[in-house]
Structure 1
Amino acid sequence: METAALSVRRLTKSFGRKQALHHVSFDCQPGHIVGLIGANGAGKTTIMKAILSLIKAKGDITINGQVSTFRHHAALADVGALIEYPGIYPYLSGRNQMKLFATPTADKNQRIQTIIQELHMAPYIDRRVKGYSLGMRQKMGIALALVNNPSLVILDEPMNGLDPQATKELRELIQKKQASGTTFLISSHILSELQKLAEDLIVIDHGRVVQQTTMRELLARNQHFLSLTTDQDLRAAGILAENGYLVTAHAPVRVQLRSTDTVAAVLKILTTYGVSIEDVQHEDGDFEQSVLDLIRE
C-alpha cells in the first residue's frame, strides 16, 4: 500500500479546560486534494497548526512516512502552508519576500518567476507589500506556500479576499500542481469552490472527525426531487401524498424521490387520476446540504 502523504493519529489538543480536538485521525493520499470542512470553531485551523508544529498537541503525525513532532519536524521541509493570515514583511517587495523564503538552489529565481506568472502577480510584485490589497496579500501567502514546490501543501481558507477571476486562477493552479503529484489539504468555508476541487473529504464537528469520505460518496447521498407543474397542483400533491410519496411543496408540486421511486410511476398515478402534467424537472440536493445533514446525523 502506498505511503500516505500525511497521516494523523489520535490528535488531541486542549486550551486550558477546553478540549479543542478529540482523538482526530485521518490520512491524505499522495496526489489527492483533500477538503477539511466544518463550521467555524470546529477545529480545522487547530488541526492544521498542530500538523505544522505551530502549536503542541498530543498524537502522532507522519509526513511522507517520516514522523514529525513539535520539537523534531524535519519532515516539514517538504511542506508548504498558508494558515490564517500570510506572514509577510510589509516593507519588502513581493519579489524580495519570495527570495527570502525560497530554498537557495540553482533554480531559485526560475521558481520565483514561474509562481509570479502562475498567480498573475507581475503588475505589483516589485512594490512593497504594505501597499497590497487583501487579495494581493492572499496571493502572496499562496505564492510563499508553493514557491519551493513542496510535496504537501496545507491551505487554510485560501480563497479569502480573492475575486472570482483570481479564485478561478487559483483553482486551476491547484489542479495543475495536483496533476504533477502535489498533495493538498484545504480548509474552506466556500463549499462551492471546495466541491470543484476536493476528491476526498474530512468532516469535522466540535473537534471530532465526523466522517472521512470522498466527494463522490457524499454527493451520492444527495436527496433527489421531482418538480411537477400540473393543471391541478393542489389536487396532484394530495393524490401523491395519499399514494405514499413524500410531498415537500405544492405549487409547483415537489416530490422527494426514494431509491425505489421512478418518474414513470409518479406520472402514471397522476394521469390515472386525470391530472394533466405541463412540466417535469429533476432537482438534486446540494453539496452544502449534504455536509449539514452529515454533521446533524
Structure 2
Amino acid sequence: MRSSIALHVDDVCTYVGKTVLVNNATFDVKAGEIIGLIGPNGAGKTTIMKTILGLMKFKGKIEVNGKNVSENDHHALTRVGALIEHPAIYPFLTGMQNLTLYAHDQKDMANLISELQMDSYINYKAKGYSLGMKQKLGIAIALLNQPQVVILDEPMNGLDIESTIRVRKLIKRYSDQGTAFLISSHILSELQKVMTRVVLISGGQIILNKEVKEFEKISHQKYHLTTENNKLTKKIFAAYQITFTENENYLIVSQNDIYKIEDLLFNEGVHLKEILPLEANLERIVVDVLEKKRG
C-alpha cells in the first residue's frame, strides 16, 4: 500500500448480530485529504466511523498507515484522533485535566486551547460547560499529539459562527501539514468549504466517491433564462419536450439543452433577454444524486 494512503477501507461490512449496517464499503483517505462523509440520517456514517475505530464487528480490511485495525484491538490507532457522537470527556474534571489525560506535549495542548479560545473556562469543571464548550474540548482532544488521521462526527454541532470558522481553519491547517480527515456533517455548506473529496453513503452503501470538483459536475449545471415572451417560450419548450421549471420571472433549464434552446428561440423569432448559470448548491446536488439512486 502506498505511504500516501493514511486510511484504507476495503470491502468492509459492519454487523450487529446478523443485521448488515454497512455493506461492502471501500474508500481511501490520503495524507492531507479532507473527506466529507455525507448522506441521510441512518445512512451509516457514524457506523463506518465506529468501525474504523475498531468499535464494531466487521468483515473486510481496514488499515491506518499500513497497520491493520481489528475489533477491540487499538494498536493501529495510536496516531488517530476522533470525535464520535459525544465528546469523550470526564464531567468532574476540568477541561485542562481532561486534555492532560491525553496530551503528550504541553505546548501542543496550550496552542489548541488558545486556537479554540478556551482559555476563559479551561480550568472549570466540564460538567458546567455548554454544548459548544464541550464540543470544542472534544475537538481539541481529537487534534492532540499531531494525529495522522482524524475522524470527526458532526464537529460543528453546537458551535457558534466564530467557533465554526476557527475549527474550519484548524482543520485546513492540520491537513496542510499532512493530517488526513474523515468528517461527517449535516451542515453541507460548511463542509463544502473544507472538504477535498465527497463520499456519499445511502442505506449502508457508498454510492459515490469523487473529488469535490468532479462531484459538482455530476449534477447538470442549471441555467436561468428570460426571454421577451416567457409565456410563448414555455409553449415552445413543451412542444419540443425541453424540460424546465419556473421561478418568479425566469425559467430554469439544463445546460445540456442550451444550444438547442438558442436555435429554437431564434427559429421561432423569440429574443433572449438573459441567460445565466445558477451556482452549484451542494445540498441540491446530494438530493439529486439520492433521488436518481432511488429511481
Query: Structure 1 58/239 Cα, relative in aligned 2: closer, same or farther at 3 Å?
Result: same
| Matches of 2:232 and 2:21, distance apart in 1 | 52
Separation in structure 2 between the aligned mates of residue 274 and residue 55 of structure 1, nearest angstrom: 65
When normalised by structure 2's length, the TM-score is 0.91
Compute the RMSD of aligned alpha carbons. Answer: 2.0
SS in 2 for 1:176: helix
Structure 1 stretches (4+) deviating beyond 6 angstroms?
Answer: none
Aligned to 1:286: 281
The count of residues paired between Structure 1 and Structure 2 equals: 291
**Contact 1:237/1:253 (CA < 8 Å) preserved in 2?**
no
Residue 257 of structure 1 deviates from its aligned partner by: 2.7
Amino acid at match of 2:282: F
- Listed as ranges, the matches of 1:103-252 within 5 Å are 103=104, 108-249=105-246, 251-252=248-249
> TM-score by structure 1 length?
0.90
Stretch moving more, 270-279 or 210-219: 270-279
The code of the aligned residue for 2:132 comes to G
TM-aligned CA distance change 1:285 to 1:111, over 3 Å: closer
The offset of 1:271, in angstroms, is 5.5
Cα deviation for residue 140 of structure 1 reads 0.5
State whether residues 233 and 251 of structure 1, in contact with CA within 8 Å, keep that contact through their aligned partners in structure 2: no
CA shift, 1:244, in A, is 4.8
Q: 2:251 aligns with which of 247, 254, 257?
A: 254
Which ranges of structure 1 fall in alignment gaps of 5 or more residues? none
CA contact 2:244–2:251 (8 Å) conserved in 1: yes
Pairing of 1:77-116 with structure 2 (within 5 A): 77-103=78-104, 108-116=105-113
Q: Deviations over 1:138-174 (max 9, x none)?
A: 0000000011110100001101001111111111110
> Which AA in structure 1 matches 2:147?
P
Is the Cα–Cα contact under 8 Å of residues 9 and 63 in structure 2 kept in the other structure? yes
SS in 1 for 2:141: helix
SS at match of 2:219: coil
Taking the TM superposition and a 5 Å limit, the aligned residue runs for 1:61-76 are 61-76=62-77
Residue 13 (structure 1) shift: 1.9
Match of 1:295 in 2: 290
Asked whether the equivalents of residues 222 and 252 of structure 2 are also in contact (C-alpha less than 8 Å), the reply is yes
**What SS does the corresponding residue of 1:5 show, helix, strand or coil?**
strand
Give the aligned partner of residue 25 of structure 2. 24
Offset from partner CA, 1:34-61 (integer Å, 9 cap, x none): 1111111111111111111122322211
In structure 2, what is the Cα distance between the partners aligned to 1:47 and 1:132? 29
Gaps of 5+ in 2: none
1:47 equivalent in structure 2: 48
**Alpha-carbon distance, 1:205 to partner:** 1.1
Alpha carbons 1:13, 1:58 under 8 Å: kept = yes
2-structure distance, mates of 1:149, 1:62? 19
Q: Which moved more, 1:119-128 or 1:142-151?
A: 119-128
Amino acid aligned to 1:288:
E
Q: 1:239 to 1:250 in 2, by over 3 A?
A: farther
